[in-house]
Amino acid sequence: MSQPENELDPATVTVWGGEDRYLLDRATQVPVVHSVAFGYEDVEEWQAVALGTEDGHIYGRNTNPTVAVFEEKVRLLEGAEAATSASTGMAAISNALHTFLAPGKRVVSVKDTYGGTSEIFTRFLPTYDVDVALVDTTDFEGIEAAVGAGCDVLYLETPTNPTLKLLDLERLSAAGHRAGAIVMVDNTFATPINQSPLALGADLALHSATKFLGGHADALGGVVAGRADLVGEIFKYREINGATLHPMAAYLLIRGMKTLHLRIERQSANAAAVAEYLEAHPAVTGVNYPGLTSHPQHELATRQMRGFGGMLSFSVDGGLDAVKRFLPKLELAHRAANLGSVETTVGPPATTSHVEVSESGRAALGIPEGLVRYSAGIEHIDDLITDLDRALAVL
């Protein structure tokens, strides 16, 4: 791309962003570079690249051209100074946390983070004598108070998985910075199409690229974008700890991201229509979707997000037993522990977002067992509603 990056719409960046540097022999598509190492005839040049004073690649655990294109595309979409990747979303999240947390440090977060992230906070970080404070997700004053009592890392996620609660990124980022904390935001649910955490004040935006960024449920990946100094530190941690994104996965993520804007538009519209349909259904007792005017934080969603996203969750009359009866009746949905794909995907938290957490742990986190998480795909909305209508009829 020869134009200045800030002149291009995200819809254009998803298609073109970050690709030109590595196009090979007039190819129009990015190559999958499987080579583990990169050879140099000139030892001085080799040394310059190793020291980072010249651009280039040395060894595949550290950097790779295909992986670099994926990182550059996300960097442009998040409006970040830098981006670095990891083998999975959890690798990106755990590497980011471990880079900046050590014995005696303190992290503040919320109770509703993704199940795996929540396990890092409750099971692993305390064994390293990291002080972990997890506050009720909707208690912004409580979060500010916990941050005010000392904070090295403020870790946020919005909307949350699976109850779709929102955090006020502008307000909480400001509180984090007053305390001198690094502010991280898991932007997986919203995607850079619907929400820009860095523009709202955060230092780092993190993704499970496995979900919406890739969008086709065929590649695992993670990415962190934000302040160059912080991303550089996370890269140094990741290259040594070794959770590197595979070049083939990077290619699949790049290919998926070319349609990110189209998919998010359609998935957001489908989720909104499904949420409205469910809200009016007699067997449904509650629907969580930030785009509904009944959502307690709808006003915040309107301020902070450009679209309300493809994710929702709902409860049915009769709890988990009722879920077990109607879920198998859906024909146009994978019952699987994934989200953000082109196919509609559903499941209860016990087998999806919070599979790593025990039943009592889920209860303590306020995750109802009878909830259904619904990730809207890109199918025609009429077919999705007909399918739900048929399945819910068994209740």
CB 315 within 8 A of CB 289: no
Q: Among this protein's residues, is 277 annotated catalytic?
A: no
C-beta of 273: minimal distance to ligand PLP in Å? 22
Q: DSSP 3-state assignment of 257?
A: helix
Q: Mark the segment that binds ligand PLP (CB under 6 A) among 87-95, 132-140, 172-180, 373-381.
A: 87-95
Q: Mark the segment that binds ligand PLP (CB under 6 A) among 17-25, 164-172, 181-189, 196-204.
A: 181-189
Which of 14, 208, 268, 297 forms a contact with ligand PLP (CB under 6 A)?
A: 208
Residue 88 touching ligand PLP (CB under 6 A) = yes
CB 132 within 8 A of CB 86: no
C-beta of 222: minimal distance to ligand PLP in Å? 6
Sign of the Cα torsion 108, 110, 111, 113 reads negative
DSSP category for residue 346 = E
Helices 228-241 and 89-100, interaxial angle, to 10°? 110
C-beta of 165: minimal distance to ligand PLP in Å? 12
Residues 309-328 close enough to bind ligand PLP by CB under 6 A:
none
Which of 73, 106, 211, 373 forms a contact with ligand PLP (CB under 6 A)?
A: 211
Residue 238 touching ligand PLP (CB under 6 A) = no
Q: DSSP 3-state assignment of 72?
A: helix
Nearer to ligand PLP, 14 or 208 (CB): 208
Could you tell me how many residues of this chain bind ligand PLP (CB under 6 A)? 15
Q: Mark the segment that binds ligand PLP (CB under 6 A) among 102-110, 208-216, 265-273, 365-373.
A: 208-216
x-or-dash pattern for ligand PLP, window 108-127, by CB under 6 A? ------x-x-----------
Buried b (16+ CB within 10 A) or exposed e, 190-216: bbbbbbbbbebbbbbbbbbbbbbbbbe
Q: Mark the segment that binds ligand PLP (CB under 6 A) among 205-213, 225-233, 248-256, 261-269.
A: 205-213
Q: Which residues pair with 215 in a beta bridge?
A: none
Q: Among this protein's residues, is 211 annotated catalytic?
A: yes
| List 22, 40, 59, 61, catalytic entry | 61
x-or-dash pattern for ligand PLP, window 31-70, by CB under 6 A? ----------------------------------------
Nearer to ligand PLP, 237 or 326 (CB): 237
Residue 222 touching ligand PLP (CB under 6 A) = yes
Give, in order, the Cα–Cα distances in Å from 260 to each of 191, 214, 255: 9, 8, 9
C-beta of 115: minimal distance to ligand PLP in Å? 8
Structure tokens at 378: 């890109």
Residue with tokens 């739900």: 388
Nearer to ligand PLP, 82 or 213 (CB): 213
Residue 188 touching ligand PLP (CB under 6 A) = yes
Contact residues for 201 (Cβ-Cβ < 8 A; gap 6+): 169, 170, 173, 174, 177, 183
Which of 10, 60, 89, 215 forms a contact with ligand PLP (CB under 6 A)?
A: 89
Report the C-alpha gap between 317 and 129 in whole angstroms.
Answer: 43
Contact residues for 139 (Cβ-Cβ < 8 A; gap 6+): none
Q: Shortest CA distance to 66 belongs to which of 29, 94, 39, 118?
A: 29
Give CA torsion, residues 184, 119, 92, 90, to 10 deg. Answer: -130
Which of 78, 112, 152, 186 forms a contact with ligand PLP (CB under 6 A)?
A: 186
Report the C-alpha gap between 65 and 45 in whole angstroms.
Answer: 18
Q: Among this protein's residues, is 21 annotated catalytic?
A: no
Q: Applying CB under 6 A, which residues contact ligand PLP?
A: 88-90, 114, 116, 157, 161, 186, 188-189, 208, 210-211, 220, 222
The catalytic residue positions are 61, 114, 186, 211
